[in-house]
Chain A
Amino acid sequence: MPPLLFYLFVLITLGFGLNVVIARNPVTSALSLAVSFVGLASLFLSLDAYFIGVLQVLVYAGAVMVLFLFIIMLMDIKSEEAGGRANMAAIIAGVVVAGILSVQVATISGKLPFSDKSTETAALKLAEAGAQWEAKGKENLPTISRDLKAGELPDAKLMGETLFSKYAFHLQVVGLLLLVSTVGVVALSKRDNKEASSQS
């Protein structure tokens, strides 16, 4: 990816991320967060993680943010009153802690063993990987090695292969977690029968 595009997407991600924190109206915050997530998805695409990028747009920018907007609409929240009732101590603490953390990350990240690798110096060797896939024999999935030999990165296929072979059990645990959270949400938002009948 050209450096100019990288900086453009970083600007979108961080700029709208900042707007989430400073905007007074919750609807502005939610929409800014959606745009920030789309910028982040473009960064994922620049890292050859196409599946994760699409997932980011579908799940975060799509489902999660729509849920947030729906709740904001349901509660009919007005934007925070314009008076300076904001807690100055909390704001100063937030800015200071965040500043210290980002300086720490910036100083440490340059000292990692392979932090100076770029997409050029750490290039993917697709043809080589394709040959290795074919050599696997019985476990070989023909579509993956065919795509790799054609010079394409079958991102979603490789992801699925990893998830369903190496992490098959974890995948089922996550499925169970989703079921439990669905039941939990229903239990949390169900009104008591007595309360409902007394109100109607």
Chain B
Amino acid sequence: MITLNHYLVVSGILFSLGLAGVIARRNILIIYMCLEMMLSAGNLALVAFSRFRVTDGLPDYTAQSLVFFTITVAAAEVAVGLAIIVALFRTKQSVDVEAVTKLQG
């Protein structure tokens, strides 16, 4: 029997995978993809909570509205972030995070 616990554990593992990628990888594009993965893991937890908190016989649609807004904000964030990455690539000719050291003390 699949309980809320199962979904939360899956969400936690997906978030951890994304976090590991953000810390360990040096390609800025892959770091960005891992950020998207972490956002999706958060969405999974929200949708699971919404389904198992049954109010008046229906799922709690407040949580699903929040997921809707998260997806919208993530789409906007990807557009702006990729534009910044392209601008970075134009000046540095590299997508390695270690190529950007200008602000390093």
Chain A residues within CB distance 8 Å of chain B: 1, 3, 6, 10, 13-14, 17-18, 20-21, 26, 29-30, 33, 36-37, 40, 43-44, 46-49, 51-52, 55-56, 59-60, 63-64, 67-68, 71-72, 74-75, 77, 80, 86-87, 90-91, 93-95, 97-99, 101-102, 104-106, 109-110, 112, 114-120, 122-129, 132, 153, 158-159, 161-163, 166-167, 170, 174, 177-178, 181-182, 184-185, 188-189
CB-CB under 8 A for A64 and B78, given A106-B9, A116-B3: yes
> Knowing A33-B36, A188-B83 touch, does A162 contact B62 (C-beta < 8 A)?
yes
The answer to whether B68 and A71 touch across the interface, beta carbons within 8 angstroms, is no
* Size category, B interface: 35 or more
Q: How far is the CB of B101 from chain A (nearest CB, A)?
A: 14
Interface status of B75 (Cβ within 8 A of chain A): yes
Residues of B in contact with A (beta carbons under 8 Å apart): 1-27, 29-30, 32-34, 36-37, 40, 43-44, 47-48, 50-54, 56-59, 61-62, 64-65, 67-69, 71-80, 82-87, 89, 95
Rounded to whole Å, the gap between the CB of A87 and the closest CB of chain B is 7
Residues of A within 8 A of B25 (CB): 21
Describe A's contact surface by its main secondary structure.
helix
Q: Can you pick out 21 interface pairs between chain A and chain B where the beta carbons lie within 8 Å of each other?
A: A18-B17, A21-B34, A33-B37, A46-B2, A56-B43, A59-B75, A60-B36, A60-B74, A74-B86, A75-B86, A94-B21, A94-B24, A98-B20, A104-B12, A109-B5, A109-B12, A123-B54, A129-B58, A166-B62, A177-B76, A184-B83
Please determine whether A97 and B95 come into contact, CB atoms closer than 8 angstroms: no
Whether the Cβ atoms of A181 and B26 lie closer than 8 Å is no
- Are A124 and B59 within 8 A (Cβ)? yes
* Distance of A91 Cα from B102 Cα, bound (Å): 24
- Chain B, Cβ-Cβ closest to A79: B27
> Chain B residues near A87 (CB, 8 Å)?
24, 26
Interchain nearest-CB distance for B86 vs A (Å):
6
Chain B contacts of A37 at CB under 8 A? 40
